[in-house]
Amino acid sequence: MKISVVGTGYVGLVTGVCLAEIGHDVTCIDINENKVKLLNSGKSPIYEPGLEELMVKNIEEKRLGFTNDLEKGYHGAEVIYIAVGTPQKEDGSADLSFVEGVAKDIAAYLRNDTIVVVKSTVPVGTNEQVLNIINSLIDKKYYVSIVSNPEFLREGSAVKDTFNGDRIVIGFEDDIAGQVLEEVNKPFGIPIFKTDVRSSEMIKYASNAFLATKISFINEIANICEKLNANIEDVSKGMGLDQRIGQHFLNAGIGYGGSCFPKDTKALVQIAGENFYDFELLSSVIKVNSSQQLILLEKLRDRLGNLRGKQIALWGLAFKPNTDDMREAPSIAITRKLIEEGAQVLAYDPIAIDNAKHVLRKEVSYANSFTDAIKGADALLILTEWNEVKQFNLSEIHEYMAAPIIIDGRNCFELDEARKANVEYYSIGRPPITLGK
C-alpha cells in the first residue's frame, strides 16, 4: 500500500518506519528541510532504541523516504497518516492548528481518492472536523474517508511496542476504510479493536487518564505508607496480584512526566469542562502529580535544613529511562526549586543532557558521569531510574560524597542494600534508612 505520513516527530517517525518494515511503501513528510536531510541520511533526530537500524534498512530497501516537497509527498497516497503535534494551549486544551493545517495541505495536493488516518491525539470530534475541512476545500472531486487510529506507544520502547502492542484501535464510519486500515495493520499481528470514530478518539484520552490515575493513586498510598511505616513496594506487589488491579503502573515515585500524560490529562479535564462536566477525579490526579514532583525537596529540607550553598547531585534528568525526552520531566520543577533555594546543582544523565541544557540552560552544571556528579556532594537526588543507577554499588558512594545522603525518587535500591552500604537512604513510601540502623 502507498502510504504518506505527515509529521516526523515521535509518533510519525516510528509509525512511518514500522509501516515500511511490514512492507508498505512509505513517504514521510515534514516541513523542516534540515530534518528531512538528516532522516534521508539514515539518522534519527530522536533517541529511540532500534529505530535507526530499521530506518537505514528500509531506506536501503527503498520502502521508506522523507521529503519536504508536499506535491511529491502526497502524490498517489492511498492512505495518509496525520501525525503532527497537538501541543497544550495555555488553557490546557489541545492546539489543533497543526492538524488543521495538514488537512488544508491534503486538500490542496489531493489527486485521488484517499483515506486519511488521524494518529495525533485529538479531542473527540476532531476527526470529523478534519474530514469537513478537506471536503469543503476539494469540492467533492475525490472521495475521502477518515479513520481514527490513536497511538499507544511508549517512548524508549516505541519500536518494540509497535510490534508487540496489546491492541490497535481503529475508529471509522466508512466500512471500506475500516477494512483497508485493518489490512494495513494486519502484518503487525496485534489484536485490532474496531469502533466508531468518536469512541476511538476517547479511548486514547481515557487510557492515558486511567494510567495517570494509577500513578497518582499509588503515589498517595506511598505517602501514607511513609507515615505508617509500611513499605509501598510490598503494598504494590500485594495489590497487583489481584488481576483486576494488575501489576503494571503501580510504581511509586516522583510523578509522571513526558509528552503525553501531563498534556492529555489536562486536555480531557478541559474537554469535559467544555461539555459542562467537572472531571473532579482527574483534576485531583493532576494536582497530586504536581505536589509529588516536589516531594524529594521536602525530604531534602527535612535532612539538610536550609539548602543555600549546599551542593546537590542529580542522577537522571529525563522523565523516564531510555529516552532523551525532557518534556514535563519532574527534574525541571525540582531543579528550578533547588536553584531558587540557593543550592548548587550538578547533574548527570546518560542521554538527556543536551535536551536538558535547552530547558534548564545556565541554572545547572553538568557532570560527565554518575560518579563525577556526586563528587563532594552534600546529598544525591535520584530522579530517573537508569539501569546504570540501579546497578551502582552503593558502598562506593563514600569515596565521592561529602556525606552519604541519598534521596531516591525512583526506589532504585533495596533497603537492605542501603543498610549494608552504610548510607542514609530516603526513598518513596518506604521506611528511611539512617546511619547505624
When asked if residue 193 is in the footprint of ligand UDX (CB under 6 A), the reply is: no
Start-to-end CA span in the chain (Å):
65
Q: Which residue among 18, 28, 260, 412 is the active-site one?
A: 260
Residue 69: CB minimum distance to ligand UDX, A: 30
Q: Which is nearer to ligand UDX, 214 or 375 (CB)?
A: 214
Residue 316: CB minimum distance to ligand UDX, A: 10
**Alpha carbons 151 and 95: distance in angstroms, whole number:** 18
Residue 399: CB minimum distance to ligand UDX, A: 29
Residue-wise over 395-422: b if at least 16 C-beta within 10 A, else e? eebeebbebbbbbbbbbbbebebbbebe
**Alpha carbons 295 and 255: distance in angstroms, whole number:** 9
| Residue in 388, 429, 427, 423 with CA at minimum distance from that of residue 402 | 423
What is the residue whose three cell numbers read 470514530? 197
Choose the binding region for ligand UDX from 134-142, 151-159, 309-317, 351-359 (rule: CB under 6 A): 151-159
Identify residues 34-93 at the interface with ligand UDX (CB under 6 A).
Answer: none
Identify residues 208-267 at the interface with ligand UDX (CB under 6 A).
Answer: 208, 211, 215, 249-251, 253, 256-258, 260-261
Instruction: Among 21, 48, 105, 155, indicate the residue that binds ligand UDX (CB under 6 A).
Output: 155
When asked if residue 188 is in the footprint of ligand UDX (CB under 6 A), the reply is: no
Residue 165: CB minimum distance to ligand UDX, A: 9
**Alpha carbons 117 and 100: distance in angstroms, whole number:** 13
Residue 252: CB minimum distance to ligand UDX, A: 7
Instruction: Among 2, 57, 72, 154, indicate the residue that binds ligand UDX (CB under 6 A).
Output: 154
260 included as an active-site residue: yes
Q: Which is nearer to ligand UDX, 256 or 370 (CB)?
A: 256
Find out whether 291 and 222 touch, Cβ atoms under 8 Å.
no
Instruction: Among 153, 225, 271, 317, indicate the residue that binds ligand UDX (CB under 6 A).
Output: 153
Q: Which is nearer to ligand UDX, 105 or 151 (CB)?
A: 151
Q: Which is nearer to ligand UDX, 167 or 398 (CB)?
A: 167
Instruction: Among 152, 163, 188, 400, indicate the residue that binds ligand UDX (CB under 6 A).
Output: 152
Choose the binding region for ligand UDX from 20-28, 148-156, 347-355, 369-377 (rule: CB under 6 A): 148-156
Residue 230: CB minimum distance to ligand UDX, A: 18
Cell numbers found for residue 213: 490515575
Q: Which is nearer to ligand UDX, 265 or 311 (CB)?
A: 265
Choose the binding region for ligand UDX from 153-161, 172-180, 191-199, 374-382 (rule: CB under 6 A): 153-161
Q: Which is nearer to ligand UDX, 107 or 297 (CB)?
A: 297
Choose the binding region for ligand UDX from 27-35, 149-157, 304-312, 331-339 (rule: CB under 6 A): 149-157
Angle subtended at Cα 362 by Cα 360 and Cα 366, rounded to the nearest 5 degrees: 80
Residue 411: CB minimum distance to ligand UDX, A: 10
Q: Which is nearer to ligand UDX, 320 or 430 (CB)?
A: 320
Residue 251: CB minimum distance to ligand UDX, A: 3
When asked if residue 151 is in the footprint of ligand UDX (CB under 6 A), the reply is: yes
Number of residues that bind ligand UDX (CB under 6 A): 19
Q: Which is nearer to ligand UDX, 158 or 380 (CB)?
A: 158
Identify residues 290-349 at the interface with ligand UDX (CB under 6 A).
Answer: 319-320
Q: Catalytic amino acids? A: 260
Binding site for ligand UDX (CB under 6 A): 151-155, 208, 211, 215, 249-251, 253, 256-258, 260-261, 319-320
